[in-house]
Amino acid sequence: MIFAATSPFTYTPSLTDWLRIVPELILLAAALLTLLADLVGSPGRKGWLAIIGLAGAICALVATQMLWVGGSIGEAFYGMVNDDYVSLFANIVILFALGIALLFSPGYIERQGITHEGEYYTLLILAALGMMVMSAASNLMVIFVGLEILSLALYILSAIVTTRRRSQEAGMKYFILSSFASAFLLYGMALTYGATGSTNLTAIRTFLSSHGTFPLGSGFGPLLLVALGLMAVGFCFKVSAVPFQAWTPDVYVGAPTSITAFMSVGTKVAAFVGLVRVFFFALPSLSVEWQPVFWVIAVLTMIGGNLMAASQRDVKRMLAYSSVANAGYMLIAVATHTQAALQGLFIYLATYAVMNLGAFGVVLAIERRDGQGTTLDDFAGLGRRHPALAALMALFMFALAGTPATAGFIGKWYVFYAAMTGGHTELAIIGVLASLIGVYYYLRVVWAIYFTEPATAPLLVLAEEPTPEREPAATTTAGGGVALAEPATAAQPTTSTKVLPADRHTTHPATWLGLALAGVLTIALGIVPMLMVEWALAAAQTLFK
């Protein structure tokens, strides 16, 4: 199998192969369908593209569920992808994130005036597809292909607000830095191939285990060591671990919030699953070499991420750094390298997904037309202006801070528990101390929401970029005929280009639905997490042998 390339190679996919990637196929179909459906209908009325996407996500979720319960699972396409409990678990989280992001999108697109709706939805679905491919990959090449599908889609999505310079900057920055990291990863994969003679993860695993614990002296040892380092760099960049986190805040803040919500969760899932497939499954015999590396990175990420988040005043930026900090907790699991740690990692990914999507969802709901209005000052007094949004944000903040009876605590519990059973009590202690910093900056948002009053003067739009002309028009059309009769509203177009109060808009019903889903799950996973824990265990058992 390793030297299959030397003879003419043919492989005919069977029906079983196709059946095992049904969730991916459904999503691909949904993506293509949205692209076609974009051709009909007038601009600005493309909300039903989201419905197509949502239907695709739900069908894919059902397919995943059916595969989990009764389907035949295993490797497919000549060991290129592996449809196991790991990929199915990842599918569930990614599809959930996609569904929530799609629910957030129509209202946000409308408010932000994003013009390329068809491309937006198609690329969003394709990004999810890339994530699923990456987490199902059982071959280094397919991991890379999945990574590129999701990255390319996300580069464009980050820059899709054509009227906002910050968004353009985010896309460009992400593209350049991420390409650089992809190159590292690819080079690492190439060297691994050079050292082991295969890109198939199982083959690499078998090859290494048949060569003793660490074949340093066997000629290809240094090669493998360099490969290990390069791949670690590549993956750490993708999960935004310190010191490879520099792109995260700028990209997360610049990108449209619905996209940020999705990529902060989805990319983490795909990258971590890819990481554990490579390091836990293919390279366990080298764990002596890579475990200390991840130990150091985990500590740096936890401390660095939390400290940097604590000094932010923009909640969106704070959440970006918080995603760095959370990557640190997940890296504890990687550094621990036990089955319990792997289970903890999967649980953490799922719980982080629900609460982080929710948190970004509230930010998205209070964000102004110009993409501003997400600082702590804008959250001031939210408890009185929008009680429901405020309560949800408080819930997500408490959850992210790790309060028991929410999803956040279950994730932290399993990771710290695994670290301690795995003999890394010091990581658990550093983790809890770092999360104390987290308590400070998450609860500062709650402070702003409930303990302070809104600033009395209307907030001025900073002259960061020219305000698009369609905004006043949108205000009048949204206001409707009745509003036009009033002189005060008639005068609005002239003033609204300068002054935009933070709360002059209503939240789209779909956004509400997404927020409610995230909120319910944040509590449910905190109180009745049994099913998730069970699934995570099944996934961990598949991978950790």
Residues found near another protein in the complex (CB under 8 A): 383, 394, 398, 403-405, 409, 413-414, 416-417, 420-421, 425, 428-429, 432-433, 435-436, 439-440, 443-444, 446-447, 450-452, 529-530, 533, 537
Cβ of residue 348: shortest distance to another protein, in angstroms? Answer: 14
Structure token pair of residue 36 = 């076609």
User: Toward another protein, which CB reaches closer, 241 or 394?
Assistant: 394
Cβ of residue 363: shortest distance to another protein, in angstroms? Answer: 21
Distance CA 526, CA 522 (A): 6
User: Toward another protein, which CB reaches closer, 373 or 383?
Assistant: 383
Nearest to 377 by CA among 461, 309, 463, 315: 315
Provide the 10 A C-beta neighbour count for residue 402.
Answer: 24
Cβ of residue 305: shortest distance to another protein, in angstroms? Answer: 17
Cβ of residue 429: shortest distance to another protein, in angstroms? Answer: 6
User: Toward another protein, which CB reaches closer, 383 or 519?
Assistant: 383
Phi and psi angles of residue 424, each rounded to the nearest 5 degrees, phi first: -115, 55
Cβ of residue 425: shortest distance to another protein, in angstroms? Answer: 7
Cβ of residue 451: shortest distance to another protein, in angstroms? Answer: 4
Nearest to 133 by CA among 122, 123, 142, 124: 142
Radius of gyration of the chain measured on its C-alpha atoms: 23
Structure token pair of residue 180 = 């650089």
Structure token pair of residue 172 = 């460009």
State the SS3 of 15-59. Answer: HHHHHHCHHHHHHHHHHHHHHHHCCCCCCCCCHHHHHHHHHHHHH
Distance CA 523, CA 518 (A): 9
Phi and psi angles of residue 460, each rounded to the nearest 5 degrees, phi first: -85, 145
Cβ of residue 412: shortest distance to another protein, in angstroms? Answer: 9
The angle formed by the CA atoms of residues 129, 135 and 138, to the nearest 5 degrees, is: 120
Cβ of residue 338: shortest distance to another protein, in angstroms? Answer: 13
User: Toward another protein, which CB reaches closer, 269 or 428?
Assistant: 428
User: Toward another protein, which CB reaches closer, 170 or 393?
Assistant: 393
Distance CA 410, CA 526 (A): 6
Bond before 243 cis per omega within 30 degrees: yes
Cβ of residue 376: shortest distance to another protein, in angstroms? Answer: 11
User: Toward another protein, which CB reaches closer, 186 or 437?
Assistant: 437
Name the DSSP class of 447.
I
Structure token pair of residue 132 = 């699923």
User: Toward another protein, which CB reaches closer, 106 or 526?
Assistant: 526
Provide the 10 A C-beta neighbour count for residue 173.
Answer: 18
User: Toward another protein, which CB reaches closer, 68 or 417?
Assistant: 417
Residue with tokens 């009033």: 486
User: Toward another protein, which CB reaches closer, 23 or 431?
Assistant: 431
Q: What count of residues does the chain have? A: 545
End-to-end Cα spacing for the chain: 22
Cβ of residue 25: shortest distance to another protein, in angstroms? Answer: 35
User: Toward another protein, which CB reaches closer, 174 or 442?
Assistant: 442
Q: Around 300, how many Cα atoms within 13 Å sit in the side-chain half-sphere? A: 13
Provide the H-helix boundaries in 217-372.
221-238, 247-254, 257-276, 287-310, 315-336, 339-366
User: Toward another protein, which CB reaches closer, 478 or 527?
Assistant: 527
Name the DSSP class of 6.
G
Cβ of residue 433: shortest distance to another protein, in angstroms? Answer: 7
